[in-house]
Amino acid sequence: MDIDVRGPRFGAAVTAVVLAAVLISGSAWLLAWQTFAFALGAAGGVGRSPYGWVFRRFVRPRLGPPTEFESPHPPRFAQTVGLVFALVGLAGFTLGPEWLGLAATGAALAAAFLNAAFAYCLGCEMYLLVRRVTARAG
């Protein structure tokens, strides 16, 4: 079943704010929260993430009906990519070196910002590229 495209963009906007707060504060706990949110989105799809729940419960009822839908697979893959970067960032902030935490969090922030501001999902594009490459190889 396809999903409302506004949900993942909302989640990306919240994610961008959280990751910016991580970079400003250096808080490993806040990054751990975002890692958890990515893990839920990767495991169950963006609708199962905390930000997906907030979108469904509080935001979507205040919007008009969706006019655009997308497959849930690319955003779910993007959550997995975000999870990997968040885990690397968390390792950098907790175990060192700190620059690794900053770099990984900054990369995840850049991707989330691109999705939130311009509807360009890097993880989704990676998913499509992987699908094309594996289809040619198989």
What are the pLDDT digits (tens) for 87-100? 999 999 999 999 99
Average per-residue pLDDT in the chain?
97
The b-or-e profile of 18-57 (16+ CB within 10 A means b, else e) is bbeebbeeeebebbbebbebbbbbbeebbbbbebbeebee
pLDDT score at 23: 98
Whether the predicted pLDDT of 71 surpasses 90 = yes
pLDDT in the model for residue 137: 84
Q: Which of 23, 11, 32 is nearest to 99 (CA)?
A: 23
CA distances from 122 to 23, 64, 65, 112 (A): 20, 27, 26, 8
- Give the type of residue at 95: L
pLDDT(138) > 90: no
